[in-house]
Amino acid sequence: MACSCAPQAPAESLREADAAIVGRLVSVSPHGRLMAEYRYEVLRVYRGTGIERGATLAVRSARRGAACALPRRLERSYGLFLLRYNGGWHGGLCRVISPRRLAQTAQNQALAAADSGAGLRCLL
């Protein structure tokens, strides 16, 4: 079996995520038979309550690539769309993006929100 991701626009992933960060992978540790804990140094926060730049964030994901596990390349930076579940952060391969593309997506959403807000003010 292999991991299979349904196509989704980055803007939609950003809207649906509980958190969106750029993090540098610092370690991967087994967490049970099927899961692992991926620890990231947070480099940038685009969304996510309680996540601070410079902190270390633990994210749970599958251990194996066939189950859509997060990438395991240490010291590499990744853009991540994360979900909050049972008090912890969870992610997977289908919610990984390049840091540059995440920055661009967040900027585009902020501009769109500012434009729509300006339009509302003009109408009032």
pLDDT at 114: 77
Q: Give the pTM.
A: 0.88
Q: Are 81 and 28 in contact (CB under 8 A)?
A: no
Residue 120 confidence (pLDDT) above 50: no
Per-residue pLDDT tens over the stretch 49-72: 999 999 999 999 999 988 999 999
Which residue is it, tokens 């969870």?
Answer: 90
